[in-house]
């Protein structure tokens, strides 16, 4: 959107004696996408813009067309006409992005590379440093407001404690930005369900699979098991979302050949150390923190397994999948799925909610505070 404004593709345009502010011509935008290598051809460009329409990012200026047409029709970004739906999740995300951009653009930023327990972390800051900075920059009125903002950012997966052991506190505990807002993302990632291998292999990309070694031809990937030694499962890709519905193989499938080799069974038993009840989760002062995770499914699903019931828990997480990138971890309890309260449901019902819902999955989970 900002690049289109800079390139003067978005501007006030007159049509049938009426002026439409801040809009673009669909055909011109398709040309721009191809010229700037954001789309290889017109068909891909149209599909990309349709994705933006489906997610309420852009719309026809008179809302007369629900489809994106490669024609001399006027469309507009909803952010430019005030119709973009600002949910609580979107507001927190945008606030986090704004703070991040402000922090990385100043000299002597509090964001630094720091080491804890012999591990180096990027984009780190101390909780008390962040509180001081927020007050100094006028982002909040007092320390209490700063802590509340920090907690909202943590619960939405934007920041986190470097070893994920603490909520946000006004102290010398070390945190980092979990999301790298500066990573260059390409529009074609929106169409990743068709070609996950064409996506970025950047460490910040939520779409890359982590190979055991860089040798070409090696198609083995790691299976996560927190309560056992790590197994190696021979497979070429993670399984589809059908793995959520109860298959013994949580998130790996055989190669797409006529003969399917046997697969290894992972995490046959619950990863929970002991059963936990809903009453225990929801009781005042319970040692659990609620987090909101936004998971964009890739070509082979979301990369996690849910098990149990009343409450359900996360049984396994693919280390290279979208769920892991969003901050999901084993032993978290599923509180809601796409706004639906699910603590009282079993895993089959929750799996059905996930599989019949949109590709972008918004989940609230409850995690034990160690």
Q: What is the CATH number of the domain that holds 350?
A: 2.30.42.10
pLDDT of 187: 82
Same domain as 131, residue 72: no
Q: Cα(278)–Cα(344) distance, rounded to whole angstroms?
A: 8
Query: Domain check: are 304 and 350 in the same one?
Result: yes
Residue 36 lies in a domain: yes
Q: Are strands 174-177 and 159-161 parallel, antiparallel or unpaired?
A: antiparallel
Q: Cα–Cα distance between 265 and 250 in angstroms, integer?
A: 8
* Cα–Cα dist 239/103, whole Å: 39
120 part of a folded domain: yes
pTM of the model: 0.45
Task: Tell me, yes or no, whether 68 and 96 share the same domain.
Answer: no
At 268 the pLDDT is 52
Burial class (CB in 10 A: 0-12, 13-18, 19+), 309: middle
- Give yes or no: residues 71 and 103 share one domain: no
Alpha carbon 185 to its chain centroid, in Å, reads 13
**Domain end residue (candidates: 157, 177, 197):** 177
Cα 34–chain centre separation: 27
Percent of the chain that is helix, strand, coil (3-state, to 5): 30, 25, 45
E strand map for the chain: 11-15, 18-25, 58-60, 74-77, 112-116, 119-126, 159-161, 174-177, 220-223, 231-234, 237-238, 252-253, 288-296, 304-308, 312-317, 333-337, 340-341, 360-368
Same domain, 69 and 121: no
CATH code: domain of residue 58 = 1.10.10.10
For 156, residues 6+ apart whose C-beta sits below 8 A from its C-beta are 89, 92, 93, 96, 291, 292, 294
Look up residue 190 and give its DSSP letter. Answer: G
Specify if 250 maps to a domain. no
d(CA 42, CA 352) in angstroms, rounded, equals 36
Give me the long-range contacts of 229-238 (CB less than 8 A, separation at least 24).
231/264, 231/266, 233/263, 233/264, 233/266, 234/261, 234/264, 235/263, 237/196, 237/209, 237/300, 238/209, 238/300, 238/301, 238/303, 238/318, 238/320, 238/321
Examine residue 191 and state whether it is found in any structural domain, yes or no.
no
Please check whether residues 53 and 120 belong to one and the same domain. no
pLDDT of residue 353: 85
Instruction: Tell me, yes or no, whether 27 and 106 share the same domain.
Output: no
C-alpha triplet 16, 17, 20: angle, nearest 5°: 85
Number of DSSP helices (H) and strands (E) in the chain, helices first? 10, 18
Q: Choose the final residue of a domain: 77, 112, 135.
A: 77
Q: What is the DSSP letter of 107?
A: T
Residue-level pLDDT, tens digit, the chain, 370 residues? 888 998 899 999 988 888 899 999 999 999 999 999 889 999 999 999 999 998 888 999 998 888 999 999 999 999 888 888 777 888 888 899 899 989 988 888 999 999 988 888 888 999 999 999 999 999 999 999 999 999 999 988 899 999 888 899 999 999 999 887 877 677 887 776 443 333 333 333 332 222 223 333 333 333 333 333 333 333 333 333 333 333 333 333 333 323 333 333 344 578 898 889 988 998 888 899 999 999 988 877 888 989 988 899 999 888 888 999 999 999 999 999 988 889 988 888 898 888 878 888 999 999 998 7
Structural domain containing residue 328: 278-368
Alpha helices (H) along 36-179: 42-54, 78-81, 88-104, 127-136, 143-155
In a domain, 187, yes or no: no
In order, the DSSP letters of 289-325 are: EEEEEEEE-BTTB-SEEEEEBSSEEEEEE-TTSHHHH
**Geometric angle at alpha carbon 124, from 123 and 126, rounded to 5°:** 150
Q: Quick check: is 282 in a domain?
A: yes
Residues 93 and 38 occupy one common structural domain: no
- 32/100 same-domain check: no
> Please, what's the b/e burial string for 221-256 (b: 16 or more CB within 10 A of its CB; e: otherwise)?
bbbbeeeeeeeebebebbbebebbeeeebbbbbbee
Give the max Cα distance, the chain: 71
Q: Domain for residue 107, yes or no? A: yes
Looking at the structure, tell me whether residues 30 and 96 fall in a common domain.
no
Task: From 153, 177, 201, give the residue that closes a domain.
Answer: 177
Q: Is residue 43 part of a domain?
A: yes
pLDDT for 245? 36
Task: Looking at the structure, tell me whether residues 100 and 157 fall in a common domain.
Answer: yes
Examine the domain organization and report whether 51 and 112 are in the same domain: no
Overall domain count for the chain? 3
């Amino acid at each position: 959107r900002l690049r289109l404004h800079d390139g003067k593709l978005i501007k006030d345009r007159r049509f049938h004696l009426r002026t439409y502010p801040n809009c673009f011509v669909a055909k011109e935008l398709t040309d721009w996408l191809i010229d700037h290598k954001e789309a290889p051809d017109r068909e891909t460009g149209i599909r990309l813009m349709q994705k933006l329409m489906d997610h309420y990012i852009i719309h026809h200026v008179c809302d007369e067309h629900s489809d994106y047409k490669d024609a001399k029709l006027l469309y507009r970004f909803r952010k430019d006409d005030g119709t973009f739906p600002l949910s609580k999740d979107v507001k927190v995300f945008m606030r986090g992005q704004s703070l991040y951009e402000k922090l990385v653009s100043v000299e002597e930023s509090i964001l630094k590379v720091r080491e804890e327990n012999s591990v180096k972390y990027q984009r780190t800051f101390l909780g008390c440093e962040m509180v001081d900075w927020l007050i100094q920059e006028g982002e909040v009125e007092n320390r209490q407001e700063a802590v509340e903002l920090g907690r909202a950012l943590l619960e939405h997966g934007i920041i986190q404690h470097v070893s994920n052991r603490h909520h946000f506190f006004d102290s010398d505990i070390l945190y980092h930005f979990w999301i790298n807002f500066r990573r260059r993302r390409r529009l074609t990632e929106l169409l990743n369900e068709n070609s996950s291998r064409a996506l970025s292999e950047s460490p910040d990309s939520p779409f890359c699979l982590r190979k055991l070694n860089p040798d070409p031809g090696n198609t083995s990937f790691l299976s996560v098991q927190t309560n056992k030694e790590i197994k190696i499962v021979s497979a070429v890709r993670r399984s589809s979302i059908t793995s959520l519905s109860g298959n013994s193989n949580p998130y790996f499938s055989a190669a797409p050949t006529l003969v399917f080799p046997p697969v290894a069974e992972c995490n046959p038993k619950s990863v929970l150390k002991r059963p936990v009840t809903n009453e225990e989760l929801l009781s005042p002062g319970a040692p659990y923190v609620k987090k909101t995770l936004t998971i964009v499914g890739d070509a082979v699903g979301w990369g996690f397994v849910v098990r149990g019931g009343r409450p359900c828990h996360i049984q396994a997480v693919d280390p290279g999948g979208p769920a892991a990138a969003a901050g999901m971890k084993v032993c978290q309890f599923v509180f809601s799925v796409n706004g639906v309260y699910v603590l009282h449901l079993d895993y089959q019902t929750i799996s059905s909610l996930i599989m019949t819902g949109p590709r972008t999955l918004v989940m609230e989970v409850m995690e034990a505070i160690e």
